[in-house]
Amino acid sequence: MKSNTFNYSLLAVGVAAVMGISSGANAAETKLGVQAGTAIRNVATAQYKVGTDSNFQPIVTSNEVIVNVNETPNFSLVSTIADNDNNVDTAINQEAIPGGTTLFTHNLKNEGNVKDTYTVVTAASDSSIVTASPNYLFNTTTINYKINVSGLTTAQLTELQTSNPNTGYTVNNGVATGTLNSTNKTITLLPTLTAELSYNAPTPVAQDGGDFGVGIITAQSSIITGKPTLTNENQTIVKRPVFKIEKSATCNGVTGSTCTNLNLNATDKKVNYSIKVTNVSNSYSKDADNFVIRDVLPTGMTIDPDTPITVTIGGQKVGSVDSTGLSGTRQVLDITVPSLVKGAVLTVNFTVLVNKPAILAANNSNTVINNATVYDNIGDITPSITDKNSITSDTSDSTDDATNNITKVPRSEANGADKDGQDTKSTLTLTDRSVIISPGTAKEVAVTGSVTYSHTITNTGNASEGGTNRPINITITDPNGVNPLNVINGSTDVNRPSYVLPNNGGTGFLEIVDAATGQYKLPNTVILPKDATVNITYTVNSVGNNTNLNNSDTNTLTVTSTGADASSNNAQNTTTIRGLTLLKQVALQAKCTGTLTPYQGTADTGKITTATFTSEPGDCIHYQITATNTFTTVSNLAINNIEVSDKTSLWSAQATYEGDTKAVSSTGSTAGLVNNNTADEAVRTTFATLAPSASANLKFVVKVKP
């Protein structure tokens, strides 16, 4: 009997999983060739009965079919955050914030047809994959994984559980989860399973905007020959608000131009400050939320209560203002702002009052620097301002280099690559220009004579005076505002005002600007630093006329520092002409024996005194001549060698001189007739000296002729 011919469908041979992932320098997958495996040998048998025969025929054996099964281990590690070039083994430009973490995700897939165990770790390392040069490296961290195990048999689930004993492997709703760390580094996957890996890369709190961070994650097969390692690189860029702070001021009532010099002698000492905060829009900036702007005013400045503080973004009022805080004795302005998006500009305007003594005492350098500081906590938490003396914040941007206000600018800016967040502080030079002159005095001068006045000019300001830029002008005028004729002669070097610098620093004449109006100036070679002095001397001449005796003239010496914020000061000197006055008085004694009447006669110089009594022959007329020194203790000048005489020819026709016994001097000087019987005959006496304000008398008697 011819056996039947049977046709069999043969199983495919040479089974292999071939993947097609390409990933650059360090491939994100690995592919392995065929490896020697086990053979599946299969022989079919059959038994049968023929017809009604109840007995089986001999067992029929088929031909043997041998299937060689090849085990192909293969796996891939793919970043699920691909860059713009779809490079699956890198994740770049992922946002990071200082002190925070950035999530990275990768898929580890068993691409082969055999169970494999993989060692998966993160490392603080930079790979050969081309990315930006890092400013910091990620530290190693725990990796979380999850595997979609829905559809697996109970046996497969048990196998996975048994193969991952130390990874926290648990199954819930068809998903297995667990962790990999420095102790438990391996994960086992059955063929075709994928472990979704995720980990948070930490960013150090000290990093600045624009800093790049780099770290790697690696996976290594336990069964592939040579145990190749797949490496993926992850990269972060630190993003934070980039505050560009611009502080400017206008002052002394001048608007429209930036104030750099504060004139402390001006009537308006207010300073109008403007703080402009821009959240710069660039590759490493982000929106700002809940930050604080703080301005600690310099000592000597306080916020003007009559001028409102305005805080605006695009013309709209925002934020809240608190000006009640103090830092020591300095007033603090705190402004809390809810948000400032990238590219937006916030403007703060406020006015301060300036206390001149306080601000000068606190600023020996004569420079006041006022900084505005922005405090912005990482995240959305508003920095605490309950402590008015200090704000603790994770980041600040300031022009102040003080310990608690360290400038935080992107590292690229610090290296000069760009200036997006460059800050501008407000620096005011305190201008306290003050040139003073020593007080004036009162002096006395003889009818024909001169007196010299000397004044000390002192620079009490905080800047040098004199020279070419700030010449010192000196004007000497009389009460009418012009140079007094014959009082100050300044057109020649003989009488021109002069100067003397202390410590043999030099001497010379003032330069003439206009002598007719008493205008002079210190030479440009004379420069007075702070607290320096110079002595100014000028002469007053009397007019040489007795009719001006006891008259006074007051001269004003004005010193003016020229240039911006100039100051002016003056002193007055009063000059009085002094000398000798003679007062001649007369009294009557009837018949030379009666009671002497009171003396008559006025003290008005040059006026004629007529006695109110009438004499008769035989009566005696008593004359009294009083010489007075009108100099006072102001000058304390004595008058010497005073000769007083009365010519007899003026009265000898009507009266006869009664002899020397009637002629006396109150100072005891000898008095009597001199030059007898000549045209110069006179009653005369000499006083040796007269002290200031002192007087002396010459008395003599004549008898009316019959």
pLDDT in tens, 400-431: 444 444 455 554 454 444 566 777 788 888 88
Q: Is 247 exposed, middle or buried (0-12, 13-18, 19+ CB in 10 A)?
A: buried
Contact 616, 706 (CB under 8 A): no
Which tokens hold the place of 253?
């009532």
Extended beta strands in 127-251, E state: 136-137, 143-148, 170-172, 175-180, 186-189, 194-202, 212-221, 229-238, 243-251
Q: What is the rounded CA–CA span in Å between residue 473 and residue 251?
A: 27
Four-CA torsion 162, 165, 168, 170, nearest 10 degrees: 10
* Of the ranges 50-54, 301-305, 396-400, the best mean pLDDT one: 301-305
Cα separation values, 168 from 161, 165, 184, 315, 636, Å: 10, 7, 9, 57, 113
Contact 124, 139 (CB under 8 A): yes
For residues 216-245, one letter each, b for 16 or more C-beta atoms within 10 angstroms of the residue's C-beta and e for the rest, the string is: bbbbbbeebeeeeebbbbbbbbbbbbbbbb
pLDDT in tens, 53-107: 777 778 777 777 766 567 789 999 998 886 555 556 677 888 888 888 999 999 9
pLDDT at res. 320: 92
Average pLDDT over residues 383-399: 54
Cα separation values, 139 from 81, 135, 687, Å: 20, 13, 113
Q: What is the rounded CA–CA span in Å between residue 235 and residue 132?
A: 8
Strands of the 367-370 sheet, one edge to the other: 261-263, 426-431, 367-370
Model confidence at 1: pLDDT above 50 = no
pLDDT in tens, 427-446: 888 888 889 999 999 999 99
Residue type, 292: V
For residues 442-464, one letter each, b for 16 or more C-beta atoms within 10 angstroms of the residue's C-beta and e for the rest, the string is: ebbbbbeeebebebebbbbbbbe
List 575's β-bridge partners, or say none: 443, 553
pLDDT category of residue 27 using cuts at 50, 70 and 90: very low
Q: Which of 401-410, 464-473, 641-650 has the lowest mean pLDDT?
A: 401-410
Q: What is the rounded CA–CA span in Å between residue 18 and residue 630?
A: 133
Quick one: how many helices (H) and strands (E) in the chain? Answer: 3, 50
Q: What are the structural domains, with CATH classification, of the chain?
A: 1-235 (no CATH), 243-431 (2.60.40.740), 435-578 (2.60.40.1510), 580-704 (2.60.40)
Contact 76, 45 (CB under 8 A): no
3-state secondary structure 360-381: HHHCCCCEEEECCEEECCCCCC
List 519's β-bridge partners, or say none: 475, 514
Closest by CA to 340, choosing from 373, 292, 295, is 292
CA 384 to chain centre: 25
pLDDT in tens, 242-263: 888 889 999 888 888 888 888 8
Q: Quote the mean pLDDT of the chain.
A: 81
CA 58 to chain centre: 112
pLDDT in tens, 528-575: 998 999 999 988 888 777 777 888 888 889 999 887 777 889 999 998
Residues 6+ apart with CB under 8 A from 544: 447, 448
Residues 6+ apart with CB under 8 A from 17: 72, 74, 111, 112, 113
Residue with tokens 């005796």: 549
Q: What is the rounded CA–CA span in Å between residue 80 and residue 89?
A: 9
